[in-house]
A and B are shown apart, each in its own frame.
Chain A
Amino acid sequence: MARSMEKYLRPEVQTTPFCPGCGHGVLMGSLLRAIDQLGLDMKNTLFVSGIGCAAWIPSPNFAADTLHTLHGRAVAFATGAKAANPELKVIVISGDGDLASIGGNHLIHAARRNLELTVICANNMIYGMTGGQMAPTTPQGHLTATSVTGNPYRPFDLVKLVKGAGAPYVARGAVTRPYELIGYLKKAIASPEFAFVDVLSPCPTQYGRRNKLDSAGAMYERLRGLCQSEAQGACAPEGAEDTLQLGEFND
Chain B
Amino acid sequence: MPLTTVTNPVKAGSRYLSGNDAAAEGAIAAGCRYYGGYPITPSSEIMEYMSRELVPRGGAFMQMEDEIASISSVVGASWSGAKAMTATSGPGLSLMQECLGYAAFTETPVVLVDVQRAGPCTGQATKVGAGDIMAVKWGSHGDYQVVALSPWSVQEMFSLTVEAFNLAERLRVPAFLLAEEATGHLRERVDLPETLEIYDRDYVPKQPPFGCDQADGIPSMPGFGMGENLLVTGSTHDQWGFRKTEGPAFHDSLVRRLSQKVLSRKAEICRHEGYYLDDAELVVVAYGFTARAALRAVRQARQEGLAVGLLRLITIWPFDDELITRVAEGAKGFLVPEMNLGQVDGLVRSAAGDTPVKSLTQVNGSTISPASIMAALKEMR
Q: Quick check: B75 and A63 within 8 Å, CB to CB? A: no
CB distance from B261 to the nearest CB of A (A): 22
Which B26-76 residues have a C-beta within 8 angstroms of A? 33-34, 36, 60, 62, 64-66, 68-69, 72-76
Q: Does A46 contact B (CB under 8 A)?
A: yes
Q: Does A191 contact B (CB under 8 A)?
A: no
Q: Does B259 contact A (CB under 8 A)?
A: no
Q: Quick check: B79 and A81 within 8 Å, CB to CB? A: yes
Cβ-closest chain A residue relative to B34: A84
Chain B residues closer than 8 Å to A35, beta-carbon distance: none
Q: Quick check: A67 and B74 within 8 Å, CB to CB? A: no
Q: Which of A70-78, A131-139, A198-206, A217-225 contacts B (4 or more CB under 8 A)?
A: A70-78
CB distance from B211 to the nearest CB of A (A): 16
Chain B residues closer than 8 Å to A59, beta-carbon distance: 231, 233
Q: Does A33 contact B (CB under 8 A)?
A: no
Q: Quick check: B66 and A46 within 8 Å, CB to CB? A: no
Which A84-117 residues have a C-beta within 8 angstroms of B? 84-85, 87-88, 105-106, 109
Binary interface encoding of chain B residues 75-103 relative to chain A, with 1 for a CB under 8 A from any of its CBs, else 0 = 11111111010000000000000110010
CB distance from B57 to the nearest CB of A (A): 13
Q: Quick check: B76 and A12 within 8 Å, CB to CB? A: no
Chain A residues closer than 8 Å to B79, beta-carbon distance: 67, 81
Chain A residues closer than 8 Å to B303, beta-carbon distance: none
Bound: A59/B235 CA distance, A? 11
Q: Is the interface of B mostly helix, strand, loop or mixed?
A: mixed
Q: Quick check: A83 and B232 within 8 Å, CB to CB? A: no
Q: Quick check: A66 and B60 within 8 Å, CB to CB? A: no
CB distance from B9 to the nearest CB of A (A): 18
Bound: A82/B233 CA distance, A? 18
Q: Quick check: B75 and A77 within 8 Å, CB to CB? A: yes
Number of interface residues of A (CB under 8 A): 32
Q: Quick check: B98 and A106 within 8 Å, CB to CB? A: no
Q: Does A43 contact B (CB under 8 A)?
A: yes
Q: Quick check: B34 and A66 within 8 Å, CB to CB? A: no
Bound: A46/B33 CA distance, A? 19
Partner of B75, one of A46, A80, A82, A109: A80
Contact status of A79 and B227, CB under 8 A, knowing A67-B79, A85-B80: no
Q: Quick check: A70 and B72 within 8 Å, CB to CB? A: yes
Q: Quick check: B76 and A68 within 8 Å, CB to CB? A: no
Cβ-closest chain A residue relative to B232: A67
Binary interface encoding of chain A residues 196-215 relative to chain B, with 1 for a CB under 8 A from any of its CBs, else 0 = 00000000000000000000
Bound: A248/B74 CA distance, A? 33
Partner of A43, one of B34, B225, B241: B225
Bound: A87/B79 CA distance, A? 14
Contact status of A80 and B225, CB under 8 A, knowing A60-B231, A85-B80, A105-B66: no
Cβ-closest chain A residue relative to B60: A83
Cβ-closest chain B residue relative to A66: B231
**Which among A44, A78, A80, A85 has the highest number of chain B CB atoms within 10 Å?**
A80
Cβ-closest chain B residue relative to A42: B229
Chain B residues closer than 8 Å to A140, beta-carbon distance: none
Chain A residues closer than 8 Å to B69, beta-carbon distance: 73, 76, 79, 105-106, 109
Bound: A66/B78 CA distance, A? 14
Chain B residues closer than 8 Å to A78, beta-carbon distance: 76
Q: Quick check: A84 and B81 within 8 Å, CB to CB? A: yes
Q: Does A65 contact B (CB under 8 A)?
A: yes
Q: Does A48 contact B (CB under 8 A)?
A: yes
Q: Does B228 contact A (CB under 8 A)?
A: yes
Q: Does B224 contact A (CB under 8 A)?
A: yes
Q: Quick check: A73 and B36 within 8 Å, CB to CB? A: no
Partner of B72, one of A63, A65, A77: A77
Cβ-closest chain B residue relative to A56: B243
Q: Does A154 contact B (CB under 8 A)?
A: no
Q: Quick check: A69 and B234 within 8 Å, CB to CB? A: yes
Q: Does B242 contact A (CB under 8 A)?
A: yes
Binary interface encoding of chain B residues 237-281 relative to chain A, with 1 for a CB under 8 A from any of its CBs, else 0 = 000011100000000000000000000000000000000000000
Bound: A48/B75 CA distance, A? 12
Bound: A79/B70 CA distance, A? 10
Q: Quick check: B229 and A65 within 8 Å, CB to CB? A: yes
Q: Quick check: B225 and A46 within 8 Å, CB to CB? A: yes
26 intermolecular pairs with C-beta atoms under 8 Å apart: A46-B80, A46-B224, A46-B225, A59-B231, A60-B242, A63-B229, A65-B228, A66-B231, A70-B98, A73-B69, A73-B72, A77-B75, A79-B36, A79-B69, A79-B76, A80-B73, A80-B76, A80-B77, A81-B76, A81-B77, A81-B224, A83-B60, A83-B73, A88-B224, A105-B65, A109-B64
Binding site for A on B (CB under 8 A): 33-34, 36, 60, 62, 64-66, 68-69, 72-82, 84, 98-99, 102, 223-225, 227-235, 241-243
